[in-house]
Structure formats: structure tokens, C-alpha cells
Amino acid sequence: MPPLRTGSQTSCPADTYSYLLGLYLGDGCISQVGDPQKKVWRLRIACDDKWPGLIEECADAIAAIRPDHKVGRAQALGCTMVHGSWKHWPCVFPQHAPGKKHERRIVLESWQQEIVDEHPRRFVRGLMHSDGSRGLNRIRRRDGQGFYEYPRYLFANTSRDIVGLMTTTLDQLENPWKSHAKRQPDVLSQSAISISRKAAVARMDTFVGPEY
């Protein structure tokens, strides 16, 4: 991370940053809080209440960057907003800008890309924990006699840039993926990918695994 100062220099483990970057790009936002003249920002990450382990992992990641500040939690419909306040969140995540992520370009700064290149598995883990899932795909047999199932990972986001960051990182890890399009009436179109080859799923299980 670039040097950040709040009276003293602050840094965090690069692998933790790579994970939190994935969470932020998937389900995070940054907004100003309190007196505008104080220029304090709040990072919020939406975490599904079905997975308490992921809520704890998100809180631990924020705490690793801000060990001298309390990590807050706020209940929302079906999810917990894990949050922390700081003047420097826009520096830590320079993708912050007015408007929704899928309505503007999302490009990593060179220093961010270096961290992702060093810790690609942690970045993929963060993206999967925010906008991905691991489940069973059920397919009818060609002869019509019953079904068969196999595990696969799915990742979907309305931002093609964010999906592109995921696929580029999977390519770096030599993990094959397949592109899909998810379109539903009255719902924003999503770019989606799946990882379903047996060896690729087994590899993903070593650093992502099922939600918990």
C-alpha cells in the first residue's frame, strides 16, 4: 500500500489488502459521514447474514488496516453492513468516485495491481465472498433418465470491468473459466462466469471453499 499518514504511518499486510479489495469491489461502498469539513469517510461492506464466518473475516480484514479503530456493524435487510471510518479510505481504494461502479470505469492503480499479482488467490477469495458462490449444478442426463450433479463456482457482477479483473486473475492462476450472461426482466444485466472443471474446482477449494 502507499504510505498513509494519520499522525503516524499506517500499513497493513498486502495479502489482507488484496482480500479486502475484492470485497470492496464486489459489495463495498465509501461515503462521507459527519461534518463535511472533517472529511471523514466510511467504508461499508455488505455481508450476507447466512454466512457469519464471512462477516467475521470481513471485520478482521478492516481491523487489520485500522487496528487502532473499532470496526462497526449495522443490521440491514438480510445482511450486515461491516464498516469503519477513516479520512483515508478514498486513498486506500481509489476506485471510489461518484456514481455506481457499473456506470464508470474500474481500473486498478499500478500499486494495487502489484499487490493483486503478489496475492491473486486472496483477491479471488474476496471477490468470490462478495459476489460469488460455490454450489451444485444439476443437469438432466441426455437420455432423459434422471440428473447428475457437479460442484462449480459462480461469479456475477454488473460491472464488466470487475468481472474482467476476476477473469484476468484466474488466467494468472491458470484456472479455466467459462463466460455466461445473466439477464432477467426488470433486473440489470450481469456479466457472469463459472469455474466447473473438476481440477479447477478442486484448486479453488484450496483458497476459497464454500461459504461459512
DSSP state of 112: H
pLDDT of residue 1: 56
pLDDT of residue 36: 82
CA distance 73 to 86: 15
DSSP β-bridge partners for residue 122? none
pLDDT of residue 182: 59
33, 85 Cβ separation under 8 angstroms: yes
Q: pLDDT tens for the chain, 212 residues: list them.
A: 554 443 334 467 999 999 999 999 999 999 988 888 888 999 999 999 999 999 999 999 999 998 888 999 999 999 999 999 999 999 999 999 888 888 889 999 999 999 999 999 999 999 999 999 999 988 887 777 778 888 999 999 999 999 999 999 999 999 999 998 655 554 455 689 999 999 999 999 999 998 89
Residue 118 sits at φ, ψ, to 5 deg, of: -80, -30
pLDDT of residue 7: 39
Domains belonging to the chain, first-starting first, are 4-103 (3.10.28.10), 128-205 (3.10.28.10)
Q: In whole angstroms, how far apart are CA 152 and each of 7, 135, 137, 177, 206?
A: 47, 6, 7, 10, 14
CA distance 17 to 194: 25
